[in-house]
Structure 1
């Protein structure tokens, strides 16, 4: 059973498992099917917060539960409470659980002097933030702590994903470049000379890791990122190539001149890069797609989604987290200066 099957990562995960021979029940809030799924996939509605509904859906038992949307200690206990009916689990976590050893992590990035100084690359034995319910990162840390503690009863592979990309994303960072190209903007600004690296994770590569972990149950934590993290300038160039446009990029030394000029969703002052050696060693993982190879379907999906509607209506989560992505007036003023 795949919980959260209707989302960005759930869709390719269901497809990968079904094509690998699993009988898959795809559970999501809407219960819809994806056109890429084989016909034998069973799509059902599920409210993730309804304990009784989840227990009923698992019934007498299933060999594998893949949980794309689990968050916090409560969801972990929801799964471990059903451990006698679940063979093993694969649960998607996040790289934002890491801290740099001095208490700095994703939750302190916006504070003065709070940007974490991670080793390059970050391995799975890097310290993590304390578990709790105060932030997304601490909630995911609590999820991990509970599931790892119950590893003898419910073998669980935890996959720490980076900046997930692909169609059906509620947080499509690529829109930063796609919308500018659609709007005819042929000049853009990038802070930190466009050299920022914020490790990406293709949804299809996460699905491949899920497929591999499903066949090799165990209690473990693995990074789940793309093979080579592109710089933000390389991401922009790759998007331009897919869209067939030429742009000029103005590179700024250091931080962005203002929150609305030069600050992309990947713009970080220090590299945030993760090691994939453990996944290769333990699961035989090989990425199924590179960042550039994954872009055409993402760009096509984004273009269709923003056609005829405001981007903030199309992607309210993105708009809430990055409200100043498209302040063209501020950009033009900076060019003039």
Structure 2
């Protein structure tokens, strides 16, 4: 039986990855800071505690060697060197990166979105040949680019599949974008406002679809970069309607022709131009077919999120989301907009 080590196994993507590999016949060691076990995992999955920054600890987990090393949490050049340093003991690796590494060819990308005329003008869809930001250490995007550079250009000989994920969705998310609609329904809000006529498209990535890509890449080792997104990119209005359907809610939606009016109309999907990624390379190289659509994966997300919000302030439960979108539920501003 082939052996796989999964780093960051208890996270949103790691959980379905461990499950998919175990189901495919791998002997999986699930490594995470807490060493936890998901209830859906096969009993044969081995769990271990691991501090990702401890080189010696990671070396001990790999031991005499493994056929596959999957890393959910690598995010800079140092982590890349840590992985390539194990090349003599690892058959192949799959590492999660991000679509935020792309720029539009005019120096605009995810890091410039807040600047005047700084939103990237990407082709639709974006393929893996699109330019990327310069590797560095200043931002999340440049650090992910540095990670990719180290993994693919180090000359270590380690076959690495880099998966560039989009807006990841599914249970156990530290930044659940669906909260924008779920919280409103839980609070009995019967009206909402969406910017850009509700037509914004920011390509989602189901954690289960990413797990399927990991499973396929594990069976076909090689050095490659692939987008890791769902089969389709729904609009913000479509996502809202899908959440309403799952929750049995009826909501009247008003639309702004342009950008949000302050906090009004702003959602985690509110982008002025489409951000959509080409999945044909994954289909061609790995035979990838999504295991679920956005709508098919939504009931599990809503059920989990509803449970997490029960009796809790969303800002306390999801501090990363609150930091990124502090005015996500600014009902006073919405009410004032409706009565203006």
In 1, the alpha carbon distance for the partners of 2:208 and 2:155 equals 26
Taking only aligned residues, the RMSD between alpha carbons, in angstroms, comes to 0.6
Find 2:280's aligned residue among 277, 290, 297.
277
In 2, the alpha carbon distance for the partners of 1:206 and 1:325 equals 27
C-alpha contact (below 8 Å) 1:9/1:204 kept by paired residues: yes
**What is residue 234 of structure 2 aligned with on the other side?**
230
Shift, 1:153, TM fit: 1.2
**What is residue 117 of structure 2 aligned with on the other side?**
113
Q: Does 1:184 align with 2:188?
A: yes
Q: Helix, strand or coil: the match of 2:209?
A: helix
**What is residue 310 of structure 2 aligned with on the other side?**
307
Output aligned runs, 1:105-184, within 5 Å: 105-150=109-154, 153-184=157-188
**What is residue 239 of structure 1 aligned with on the other side?**
243
Q: Does 1:256 align with 2:256?
A: no
Q: TM-score, normalised by structure 1?
A: 0.99
**What is residue 296 of structure 1 aligned with on the other side?**
299
Q: Does 1:328 align with 2:331?
A: yes
In 2, the alpha carbon distance for the partners of 1:266 and 1:110 equals 15
C-alpha contact (below 8 Å) 2:84/2:156 kept by paired residues: no
User: In the superposition, relative to structure 1, how do residues 238 and 139 fare at CA in structure 2: closer, same or farther (>3 Å)?
Assistant: same
**What is residue 219 of structure 2 aligned with on the other side?**
215
In 2, the alpha carbon distance for the partners of 1:202 and 1:257 equals 30
In 1, the alpha carbon distance for the partners of 2:99 and 2:177 equals 17
Structure 1 residues 60-109: Cα deviation after superposition (integer angstroms, max 9, x where no partner): 10000000000100000000111101110000000000000000000001
Q: Does 1:92 align with 2:96?
A: yes
Shift, 1:150, TM fit: 3.2
Q: Helix, strand or coil: the match of 2:27?
A: coil
Q: Helix, strand or coil: the match of 2:133?
A: coil
**What is residue 26 of structure 1 aligned with on the other side?**
30
Aligned length: 336
**What is residue 85 of structure 2 aligned with on the other side?**
81
Shift, 1:181, TM fit: 0.2
C-alpha contact (below 8 Å) 1:197/1:271 kept by paired residues: yes
Shift, 1:152, TM fit: 5.4
C-alpha contact (below 8 Å) 2:87/2:156 kept by paired residues: no
In 2, the alpha carbon distance for the partners of 1:277 and 1:143 equals 24
Structure 2 spans left out of the alignment, 5+ residues: none
In 2, the alpha carbon distance for the partners of 1:161 and 1:205 equals 10
Find 2:289's aligned residue among 283, 286, 290.
286
C-alpha contact (below 8 Å) 1:91/1:158 kept by paired residues: yes
Q: TM-score, normalised by structure 2?
A: 0.98
Shift, 1:10, TM fit: 0.2
Deviation above 2 Å: which 4+ runs of structure 1? none
In 2, the alpha carbon distance for the partners of 1:193 and 1:44 equals 48
Q: Helix, strand or coil: the match of 1:15?
A: helix
